[in-house]
């Protein structure tokens, strides 16, 4: 049952975390310039064929971006490079705050309802993945001109060696430590409250269908995941209708594939949410 809900939640949490990531870039630029770039929080390919999970589109006219001569990963100077204003590593800092807050909740909090616990765990792993995905290459000496964490030294916010050292410190404190603190975490020791499951279903109360009956208790998660997919669907649809920036290729497989998955995801989630009220019955 948990695996089913994990699969169902992946699309929604992917969109949600991407929106947080790009939104933190956006708020950084607003704080510096008082103007906001255009956010595209969905997978796509650029006109140059590069794949992006999401993007803030720069604009020279409103001051949200600046042109500078900056080096590439081989040290060659790229002249007149356009990039967002503000510290480029803000999304990774936000990830660390999210991880810290959720770890504190897991360690000290007492939430026995499994329906409430599950989305917190899902968000925790999403923030962890986002941080590791963006910083992992730098930790092992890698470099990519399109990677936020690489840009921290490419844009001269910090020296490369210092950033590699800092990255390992952050990985040890916030990532690798998870294999240690989880042993003492309150959420790991306390028993999930079975009384939170207050319904069965029309198949009856026999043990064969016990877990399936509890499946319907998570219907509010289905509604949440469905709404996230629906938001992404309408946002992407507006982009396809010409309301977005042409620098995002809406005809690419990356865009259309995730667009289709969100349509399917929304339909499945809303169907499960609706069926739960028909099939479940109070004990």
Please tell me the predicted confidence (pLDDT) of residue 15.
Answer: 95
What's the pLDDT score for residue 193? 60
pTM for the whole structure: 0.87
Instruction: Kindly give the parts of the chain with pLDDT less than 70.
Output: 1-2, 191-214, 280-283
Predicted local distance difference test score (pLDDT) of residue 200: 46
Q: What is the pLDDT of residue 194?
A: 56
**Chain segment 178-209, per-residue pLDDT in tens:** 888 877 787 777 766 655 555 444 444 444 44
Cα torsion through 74, 79, 83, 88, rounded to 10: 40
Sequence ranges of the domains in the chain: 88-192
170: CB partners within 8 A, 6+ apart: 96, 131, 135
Q: What is the pLDDT of residue 4?
A: 76
Q: What sections of the chain are H helices per DSSP?
A: 2-33, 90-108, 114-139, 148-154, 160-170, 178-181, 186-189, 210-215, 219-238, 253-279
């Amino acid at each position: 049952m948990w695996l089913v809900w994990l699969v169902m939640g992946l699309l929604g949490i992917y969109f949600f975390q991407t929106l947080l990531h790009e939104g933190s870039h956006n708020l950084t630029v607003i704080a510096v310039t008082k103007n906001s770039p255009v956010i595209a929080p969905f997978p796509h390919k650029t006109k140059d064929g590069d794949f992006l999970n999401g993007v803030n589109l720069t604009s020279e006219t409103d001051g949200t971006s600046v042109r500078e001569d900056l080096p590439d990963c081989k040290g060659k100077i790229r002249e007149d490079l356009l990039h967002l204003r503000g510290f480029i590593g803000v999304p990774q800092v936000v990830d660390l705050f999210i991880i810290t807050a959720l770890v504190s909740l897991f360690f000290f909090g007492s939430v026995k309802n499994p329906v409430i616990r599950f989305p917190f765990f899902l968000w925790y792993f999403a923030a962890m993945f986002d941080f590791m995905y963006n910083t992992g290459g730098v930790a092992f000496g890698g470099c990519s001109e399109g990677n936020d964490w690489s840009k921290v030294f490419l844009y001269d916010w910090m020296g490369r060696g210092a950033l590699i050292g800092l990255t390992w410190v952050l990985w040890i404190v916030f990532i690798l430590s998870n294999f240690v603190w989880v042993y003492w975490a309150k959420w790991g020791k306390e028993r999930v409250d079975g009384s939170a499951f207050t319904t069965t279903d029309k198949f009856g109360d026999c043990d064969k269908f016990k877990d399936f009956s509890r499946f319907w208790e998570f219907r509010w998660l289905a509604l949440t995941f469905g709404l996230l997919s629906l938001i992404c669907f309408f946002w992407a649809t507006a982009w396809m209708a010409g309301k977005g920036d042409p620098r995002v290729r809406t005809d690419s497989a990356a865009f259309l594939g995730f667009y289709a998955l969100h349509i399917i995801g929304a339909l499945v989630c809303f169907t499960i949410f609706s069926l739960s009220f028909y099939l479940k019955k109070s004990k």
